[in-house]
Amino acid sequence: MALLSVQGISVSIGALCPLEGVTFDIDKGEILGLVGESGSGKSLTAMCVMGLLPRIGGTITKGSIAFDGRELIGLPEIELRRLRGKRIALISQNPMTSLDPIIRIGAQIDQVSILHLGLSAEAAKARSLDLIAQLRIPEPAAIHRAYPHQLSGGMKQRIVIAMALAADPDLIVADEPTTALDVTIQAQIIQIMVELVRDRGLALMLITHDMGVVAQACDRVVVLYAGRVAEMNAIGEIFAEPKHPYTRELICCIPRLGQKPGSLKGIPGVVPSIVDYPDGCRFNPRCSNAQALCRDRAPALEPKSSGLAACHFSEV
């Protein structure tokens, strides 16, 4: 049985319905990529898994989220809080703003193991120092005493990772962990996370808009488009034989070495606005294959020759 199983969840925020029938699962030791353009609902999915959706004024209207065999939807807040940080940890998008600027780095990492593992202050500090060292940060003791503004972005993101690891979680949700960082640092951070998953047998839900990152790190990929799952497949199949036209376009957007100048292209059109989703398949206004059926009826997420895809014409 999968460690995390998300089945057909729909989310509403006020009158808007930014997620519809999102389905995927993650096994232990697996890295699942959640890919899509901004506004496709990636971060919102992370909020659902973390049980933090009510904090931003949203509710899950349909579906189920099972973690380690336990249903999370409808679980009392106090139970969710015991899972958060302990068994499911978050690595957030922007390390610059994710740390409390007026509290020492060390105290912020210690906090997690004191809270969830019941460690004493000294034991928590020793554990944090150990974690900092494991993440290949020089001078752990000095970093432990430092304040966030004294560290670079890449260092801060490592600290956020250390914070996520502090209580030995089973699942890490990483919401665009490298977007705010320099390109050279990005690869390092992804490398660190891949190693962690392999060494500790964690499950990682890696949210990104960067197919390059997906190719580097993930075992399986879920492609989101406008709040719905477009396609889900293993990494090899997705790149070899994408089933959804949107996935094809995404792959075409990856720059390659030796590519002819000017041959790199973007996807024509823009992501539809949430207040004005098109009828039928939401990708139809941008799809070169769109037929009358696509404008008429939304395709279901169905098994194809491999994986799942939501396209009426994926087999043609």
Residues that bind other proteins (CB under 8 A): 50, 52, 55, 81-86, 89-90, 92-94, 97-103, 111-112, 115-116, 147, 149-150, 160, 163
Nearer to other proteins, 163 or 298 (CB): 163
Question: At its nearest, how many Å lie between other proteins and the CB of residue 22?
Answer: 20
What does the alpha-carbon distance between residue 290 and residue 279 come to, in Å, rounded to a whole number?
12
Cα 68–73–74 angle (5° rounding)? 120
Q: Is 88 exposed, middle or buried (0-12, 13-18, 19+ CB in 10 A)?
A: buried
Least gap, CB of 97 to other proteins (angstroms): 4
Neighbours of 166 (CB within 10 A): 26
Helix (H) or strand (E) holding 206: strand 203-208
Residues 6+ apart with CB under 8 A from 34: 24, 42, 45, 46, 205, 206, 207, 208, 221, 222, 224
Instruction: Tell the smallest beta-carbon distance from residue 166 to other proteins (Å).
Output: 9
- Give whichever of 79 and 296 is closer to other proteins, judged by the CB atom: 79
Shortest Å, Cβ 164 to other proteins:
9
Cα dist. 185→50, 97, 154, 195, 274 in Å? 26, 17, 6, 16, 33
Nearer to other proteins, 81 or 209 (CB): 81
Q: Which is nearer to other proteins, 100 or 302 (CB)?
A: 100
Closest CB 175 distance from other proteins, rounded Å? 10
Query: CB-wise, 154 or 242, nearer to other proteins?
Result: 154
